[in-house]
């Protein structure tokens, strides 16, 4: 995931949607942020239990995250409902089959963590994995993987255990000495990583507000 280098006004942050939700706070999850020996910044989250949600529902959500959905008497882009404050847009992915996203697709993601313009993201990411066990997104720079985000879904009594890992940087011996410092100081620094931890805890927790009802009305 990369910070946007274009002008913010090109994709302005829309007004927040107010659904009356009380989003999860940072202390509801177990989190970590540290720098590995190879210079990668690693962030992890072990989220609180997602109640009444099972892994197939999460896979189905990500397959159709680019679509619209009815909620609170109106129709909204699903991506905006997912985080009503921070999300701007998710453009229609390339390599969509039968209206659904699968492995091999590309997402363009636009969001602003905490509505703080210092933490604006505009990034195209490759869907390397998407199934009932989780999703993995990878960002490439000149063919070199420089970012990955993986979520794991595990069925447990009462719902799903949801775990996340973000890696900023590359493990390539040829490029890591030059790239990793640049990426973790200027493109996605530690402060932005900490803003992401909060953002992701919020958006994952938000599934409980809408996903069970949306799943019950699914047609594709």
7 occurs within a structural domain: no
19 occurs within a structural domain: no
pLDDT at 34: 96
pLDDT at 7: 43
Contact status, residue 78 vs residue 60, Cβ threshold 8 Å: no
Contact status, residue 153 vs residue 59, Cβ threshold 8 Å: yes
115 occurs within a structural domain: yes
Domain interval for residue 34: 26-216
2 occurs within a structural domain: no
14 occurs within a structural domain: no
pLDDT at 8: 46
3-state secondary structure the chain: CCECCCCHHHCCCCCCCCCCCCCCCHHHCEEEEEECCCCCEEEEEECCCEECCCHHHHHHHHHCCCCEEEECCEEEEHHHHHCCCCEEEEEEEEEEECCEEEEEEEEEEEEEHHHCHHHEEEEEEEEEEEECCEEEEEEEECCEEEEEEEEEEEEECCEEEEEEEEEECCCCCCCHHHHHHHHHHHHCCHHHHHHHHHHHHHHHHHHHHHHHHHHHCCCC
3 occurs within a structural domain: no
Which domain CATH number covers 48? 3.30.530.20
Count of domains for the chain: 1
169 occurs within a structural domain: yes
9 occurs within a structural domain: no
pLDDT at 186: 87
Q: Render each residue's pLDDT in the chain as its tens digit; 220 residues.
A: 545 434 445 689 999 999 999 999 999 999 999 999 888 999 999 999 999 999 999 999 999 999 999 999 999 999 999 999 999 999 877 766 777 888 999 989 999 999 999 999 999 999 999 999 999 999 998 888 899 999 999 999 999 999 999 999 988 777 787 788 888 988 999 999 999 999 999 999 999 999 999 999 986 5
pLDDT at 4: 46
- Phi/psi at 150 (5° precision): -125, 135
Tokens of 176: 């890591």
């Amino acid at each position: 995931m990369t910070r946007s280098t274009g002008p913010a006004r090109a994709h302005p942050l829309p007004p927040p949607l107010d659904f009356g939700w009380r989003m999860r706070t940072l202390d509801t999850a177990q989190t970590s942020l540290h720098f590995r020996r190879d210079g990668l910044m690693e962030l992890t989250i072990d989220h609180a239990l997602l109640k009444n949600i099972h892994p197939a529902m999460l896979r189905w959500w990500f397959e159709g995250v680019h679509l619209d959905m009815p909620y609170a008497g109106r129709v909204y882009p699903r991506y905006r409902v997912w985080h009503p404050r921070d999300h701007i847009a998710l453009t229609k992915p390339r390599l969509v089959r039968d209206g659904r996203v699968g492995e091999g697709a590309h997402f363009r993601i636009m969001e602003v963590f905490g509505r703080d313009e210092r933490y604006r993201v505009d990034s195209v990411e490759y869907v390397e994995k998407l199934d009932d066990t989780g999703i993995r997104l990878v960002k490439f720079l000149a063919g070199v993987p420089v970012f990955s985000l993986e979520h794991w879904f595990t069925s447990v009594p009462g719902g799903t255990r949801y775990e996340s890992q973000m890696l900023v940087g590359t493990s390539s011996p040829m490029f890591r000495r030059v790239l990793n410092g640049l990426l973790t100081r200027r493109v996605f620094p530690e402060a932005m990583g900490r803003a992401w931890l909060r953002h992701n805890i919020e958006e994952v927790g938000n599934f409980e507000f809408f996903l069970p009802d949306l799943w019950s009305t699914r047609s594709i």
